[in-house]
Homo-oligomer: A and B are copies of this chain.
Amino acid sequence: MISKLFDPQSVALVGASTKQGSVGYVILENLVTRFKGVVYPVNPKYDEVELWGRRIKFYKSILEIDAPIDAVVIATPAPTVPKILEEAGLKGVPVAIVVSSGFAEAGNVELENWTKAVAKQYGIRVLGPNCIGVYNAYTNFDTIFLPADRAGRPPPGPLALISQSGAVAAAIMDWAARRKIGLGLMVNYGNKIDITEVELLEAFAADDRIKVITLYIEGFKYPGEASRFLESVRKIVPKKPVVVYKAGRGRAAQRAVKSHTAAMAGTYEMYHGLFQQAGVIEASSVREMFDMAKALAYQPIPRGKRVLVVTDSGGMGIQAVDALEALGLEVPEVPESIANELKRELLPFAAVSNPIDVTGSATDEHYKIVLDTLLPTAFFDMALVVTLMQVPGLTKNLAEYIINSKKYGKPLVVVNFGGSELVQKFEDILEDNGIPVYPTPERAAKALWALYKYAEVKRKI
């Protein structure tokens, strides 16, 4: 049962350590001080230790633990791993997370094969080895051996990440923590001797806490994986969007992929074709993957590709239109009768076509008029709202008007740029209420494109 991989209630940590900064110490601290489950530290060197203001009992081996165990985390030297897996198997533990490195990636192919064989014999499912494992923001089940002061832990939320690279995953977590992005579940699978991307995708697909699955991948490893991926993902995407960033596209990049994860990079065109067929939404960078995921998690699906652009800066409006058109979205003109109506209610120099430029002299109410007049009509499917808060007439109330427009059931994203406190606060209010904010028109346009693309995918599959 790989569901125990993300939501164990009891965990044994083999290789738990009292040596500050060591892998076994950081994971022990994560589990003892934050995990909402039971922890059994295993290390024959210790008996009972006082740490973090608690008395912590250590076990000599997994077999000594007198209770059922949902998962075992192994952080001991590579050569000891098969024996520990054997004990876990005897104990009946369903799943093991092996963070230890020193297997095939270090040339020890035989040790890796032996580990695989032991796992198979006992029917124990293995994540890794050579991985950072699992982070669950809901229960704080956290096998990440990088201390929180250099790799932040994001808050719970509807995004999930599957990453082939441990360092990339840690950097994403650190960034998501800082930006308060709700990355509820994260998994890094390392050498992948057993549990694969496809199974992890299926686990997240079945998890109600997760609304969008993101996948960072460098390449598949085994024959047949591509077709299993296609088959599986085609079943997932009608229920949940899957956003993928495939690294390693050019020639030199493929050389690097080969040395990094021993993945078969294949040609990028092969992957691109596969993603298209599978109905996956493809990002061209890690950041773009999360820009899209944020919109997919919180915004409805549009009925078409016609975008309303409202802006207090003509210049930013133009940039937005550039970006939208380059992505194949449409920015249709406002029908003349409605344009005339707007003309009467907005400032004399406002542009009432599309983009609607309420001008730098606008007030919050002008945005409200535009949104309330145009969003309910059949002429627009979604809206990109530019709010340069540097102009004098705008206040935090504008956020409320934008949030209120969610009632029209159409996707809304906001472009906001700058650094002052007002700008920050305004952004926080919007994001806390499910309106994604982006610092550039290009990124906001790409997010709307992802929503449109997902609508298309759902229609087709």
A interface, CB within 8 angstroms of B: 21, 105-107, 145-152, 163-168, 170-179, 216, 218, 247-253, 255-257, 259-261, 284-287, 312-319, 321-322, 324-326, 330-333, 348-349, 351, 353-355, 357, 360, 388-392, 417-423, 439-442
Contact = CB atoms under 8 A, between A and B. Distances in A.
Contact of A171 (B166, B322, B388, B422): B388
Among A107, A148, A168, A256: residue with most chain B CB under 10 A = A256
Contacts of A145: 392
Nearest to A359: B167
Contacts of A171: 313, 316, 388, 390, 417-418
Contacts of A107: 348
A353 B315 contact: no
A326 B261 CA distance: 22
B421 A360 contact: no
A260 B315 contact: yes
Contact of A322 (B248, B319, B326): B248
A102 to B, nearest CB: 9
B146 A390 contact: yes
Among A164, A177, A313, A441: residue with most chain B CB under 10 A = A313
Contacts of A325: 249-253
A140 to B, nearest CB: 18
Contacts of A151: 390, 418, 420
A249 to B, nearest CB: 5
Contact of A331 (B105, B177, B252, B421): B252
Copies of this chain held together in the complex: 2
Nearest to A163: B315
B318 A420 contact: no
B167 A315 contact: yes
B149 A392 contact: no
A106 B285 CA distance: 43
A261 B359 CA distance: 12
A353 B256 CA distance: 8
Given A167-B388, A440-B285, A417 B321 contact: no
A178 B418 CA distance: 8
Contact of A318 (B175, B260, B348): B260
* 5 nearest A-B residue pairs (beta carbon): A178-B419, A260-B314, A165-B315, A167-B313, A174-B418
B391 A167 contact: yes
B261 A314 contact: yes
Given A167-B313, A171-B388, A260-B351, 10 more contacts: A146-B390, A147-B392, A174-B419, A175-B439, A177-B419, A249-B325, A253-B321, A256-B355, A259-B351, A285-B440
A313 B360 contact: no
A318 B218 contact: yes
A451 to B, nearest CB: 19
